[in-house]
Structure 1
Amino acid sequence: MIQTFQRRDKIKQLLYILLPILVTQLGMFSMNFFDTTMSGQFSPIDLAGVAIGSSLWVPIFTGLSGILLAITPIIAQLVGGKKENEVSYNVVQGTYLSLIMAILIVIIGGLFLNPVLNGMQLEEDVQRIAHDYLVALSLGIIPLFVYNVLRSFIDALGKTRVSMFITLTALPINVLFNYLLIFGKFGFPKLGGVGAGYASATTYWLICGISVYIVMKHLPFSNFKIYRVLFPVSIKKWKEILLIGVPIGLAIFFETSIFAAVTLLMSNFDTATIASHQAALNFASFLYMIPLSISMALTIVVGFEVGAKRYKDAKEYSWIGVTMAVFLAFACGVILLFFRKEIAGIYTTDQQVLELTAHFLLYALFFQLSDAIAAPIQGALRGYKDVNATFIMSLVSYWVIGLPLGYYLANFTEWGAFGYWIGLISGLAAGAICLSGRLIYIQKKKYRFTGENESF
């Protein structure tokens, strides 16, 4: 990354970092997307089973991997502050932490997965598929967490095209193994939705291996000598990473877990409703990759500018990102409005599920604007290393406002399952408003600047 002076140059640099991140995020999400859609083509029961499994796994993974996102602003600020000699130490400590987290998840999953599924009152076949899908997926948890550390390091240097290359290399492998293991082609066992779990685990090992090779052998990453020295474990450094990462992880967990909670609460509805809800939510999440990618790009550029103490530039980047996200949200809203039936047809050929999915997608339209504001602002705040207020706002917005309202509307009004979506929309809107206020506060009160000389 380089210092920029004109707004046009900032937009150009942001897009240079953003576009590969977007492709990478769409690629990573496509693994879950293909898990869902290809399982749905196998049978509605497999779609429901994978949906339940994903609803349990996604908030746990995103929350814990969110902790590792602390590596991005840490490295970005070190590079911006010309402290490159400290980068390798931070990446190695982040890797140690990721291994501990991954192992703990496997152990905890082994202890609590069956009791959680047993308490959900699912159809027997749906529960079996959800269980076996998660067991298969668990085989790839360790490499997935290590990859998240390495990707944070790569992206923090502004080399987001490398992450894009890794993902685009791995995605066809994931689709191929989905095809072989879900449908039992070319002599492979026909595993249905469970096969999607094994396919994803295989892919996670692949992207981790490629990432390790690149950071050790290719410039400019090899200049940092990552893993050339395996430093002793530093609890002090872990504490620093956790102080930044835990609030990030909690904020992400509160946001993603509310969607998972709604899916689990909807287990009281029939299989068609569960399947259609998950299909619509899956596509809404697919569109969410746009503001999420802008968020990740803002963390990098804002962190770089803050590390160099150029607070005026950091502020300008922040609002360029938000404006860009809002514009794209309107474009996505038009797509949802006019092509929702065609989109529903991607997920299923079952007529009942198709009609319900198209109906749910109408509500997904309203997600777009709130996400377009909230996600980029979260990314900008992470660049400032301001993370504590974000997770508190997420807790209040989603769990104090969104979920209780959705539960009431779904169970005590005629809205039924659609009531949960109205609650989610309300929570997202509240979160967007609160986060906007926080960013304005940080920029006005904590990062004052005067002319060319900027100071706290």
Structure 2
Amino acid sequence: MTIMKTADGSAVAPVLPSAASLRGELRHNLKLAAPLMAAQLSFVGMHTVDTLMAGRLGASSLAAVAVGANIWFLAFIIFMGLFMSVSPIVAQRVGAGLPAAATGALLRNALLLAVMLGALWTAALNLVADPVLDLLALDVDTRTLAEGYLRAISWAAIPFCLCFVMRNGCEGTGATRAPVIAGIVALLVNALANLPLMYGYLGFPALGAVGTGWGTVVAVWAMTLVYALLYRLDPRLRAMQLFAGRPRLTRELREIFTLGIPICASVVAEAWLFNLGALLMAHFGGSVVAAHQIAINVASLVFMVPLSIGLATAVRVGQAVGAGDGLAAVLRGRTGIALGAVFALLSAACMALFSRPVVALYTQAPDITDMAVRFLMLAAIFQLFDCLQATTNGALRGFKDTRVPMAVTVSAYWLAGLPVAAWLSLGTSVGPAGVWCGFIVGLAIAAFGLGLRFRRRVQKTRRLTTTSTVNPSVLMS
């Protein structure tokens, strides 16, 4: 980063970024975010495939997959959040110009950690499956199928953790085609594996809903193998020599926990807010639950865009911080947040204007349709804040700033959003719409708090920008 200086050598205020530099950063961010969107959608699509195929087997099978998937997701989000720290760690190493082989050694050691944590995840899920299902008071058929589904899909824990490490390693280096390829392969394998395992084709036993769990296991191992192959074939990934040595547990791995635990807490706080919101909806009956599911499904699909922009922003900011270029890091962070704001306005407008045609794709039942349209109108409001908090969080992760954002998001969702949702829905005449009002409150507070944190980060970075280069560790402090 070049700084203007006076004749006596003292630094003056840096020049504001030009329109050309802003356009260039927009292009770089979107180029990185686009394949991440495709990868996220393929990832989400695996559960969609399981749900659609299980629905053909009857109500008990569909309910069993829904219950099992929700229990599985509670742990899934924890480990996914923990290993999200790998992306900014790798990005800063790339920006600092560290040897690719050194970064590969870190990832290789992280894979050993992934195997250990995946094994712990498998064991824990098998231990808690029975007592958790007992609490839900399911009918006998649904409970039996849900237990079988959980015990089957528990064997996907290790390959999922391996994929988390390799995927975030790809994102940190900017090699985003790899997650797209791996995600598409997994989606196709999942659908193809489900057919014989569910229906008994090709000599396999007909496992029904439990077969979807085993289908996911096969698909995720296929995704793991694709990542391993791409780390050998892609020139940018091959340079890291991921499989050139034996993995070891080293002190470097502490950084995964230092950054990952706060990220995990933030991600879990938001995910569990929506899960508990769904439980509050159950108080109002099946039609309301169905309407809520439609609206939250639409909102979740739309959220893949700002989430991907946030992931891309974390990489772009992290690489600038690693290079000691504070002004570039600020520009990249602001650009990502601006992209999130623009998309928020567009998506909110589309939800408000086209809510009824969108709901018609899911159902024709009048009572469910009217309620889902009402929820989507509220989703249009929370979309504004959800996009901003996702992209701002991404910018802060690029600075490896995760502890304060964790405090902001956990407080916003659990001390404000959830209590407001419970009070308005159960304690007032607002009813089920109160749950969505709680979502809006939590997301608005999170977006505001994270925005203040990023503003402070920008101010600090500008104060530090008094020489031609800045130590990356100073930018992160």
TM-score by length of 1: 0.90
What is the distance in 2 between the residues matched to 1:319 and 1:252? 22
- The equivalent residue for 1:160 is 176
- The equivalent residue for 1:262 is 277
Secondary structure at the aligned position of 2:247 is classed as coil
- The equivalent residue for 2:14 is none
Equivalent in 231, 236, 249 of residue 233 of structure 1: 249
Gaps of 5+ in 1: none
Alignment of 1:57-456 (within 5 A): 57-84=72-99, 85-178=101-194, 193-234=209-250, 236-347=251-362, 356-446=371-461, 448-450=463-465, 453=468, 455=470, 456=474
How far is the alpha carbon of 1:81 from its aligned partner? 0.8
Secondary structure at the aligned position of 1:385 is classed as coil
Superimposed CA distance per residue, residues 409-456 of structure 1 (whole angstroms, 9 cap, x where no aligned partner): 221223333322221121111111111111111121255354773545
Query: Aligned AA for 1:117?
Result: L
Relative distance call for 1:271 and 1:137 in structure 2 (3 A) is farther
- The equivalent residue for 1:56 is 71
What is the distance in 2 between the residues matched to 1:357 and 1:218? 45
How far is the alpha carbon of 1:162 from its aligned partner? 2.0
Relative distance call for 1:223 and 1:81 in structure 2 (3 A) is same
Equivalent in 22, 25, 49 of residue 10 of structure 1: 25
Worse-matched range after superposition: 58-67 or 102-111: 58-67
- Aligned-pair RMSD on alpha carbons? 2.7
Query: Aligned AA for 1:55?
Result: N
How far is the alpha carbon of 1:275 from its aligned partner? 4.0
How many pairs were matched up?
Answer: 452
Relative distance call for 1:278 and 1:50 in structure 2 (3 A) is farther
How far is the alpha carbon of 1:108 from its aligned partner? 1.3
Worse-matched range after superposition: 337-346 or 437-446: 337-346
Q: Max radius of gyration: which structure?
A: 2
Relative distance call for 1:273 and 1:431 in structure 2 (3 A) is same
Gaps of 5+ in 2: 1-17
Worse-matched range after superposition: 253-262 or 290-299: 253-262
What is the distance in 2 between the residues matched to 1:326 and 1:191? 46
Worse-matched range after superposition: 272-281 or 413-422: 272-281
How far is the alpha carbon of 1:291 from its aligned partner? 0.7
Query: Aligned AA for 2:222?
Result: L
Query: Aligned AA for 1:420?
Result: V
Superimposed CA distance per residue, residues 217-242 of structure 1 (whole angstroms, 9 cap, x where no aligned partner): 431212211121013322x2222221
What is the distance in 2 between the residues matched to 1:86 and 1:309? 19
Worse-matched range after superposition: 265-274 or 104-113: 265-274
How far is the alpha carbon of 1:359 from its aligned partner? 4.0
Equivalent in 31, 42, 47 of residue 46 of structure 2: 31
How far is the alpha carbon of 1:352 from its aligned partner? 5.7
Query: Aligned AA for 2:336?
Result: G
Relative distance call for 1:81 and 1:335 in structure 2 (3 A) is same
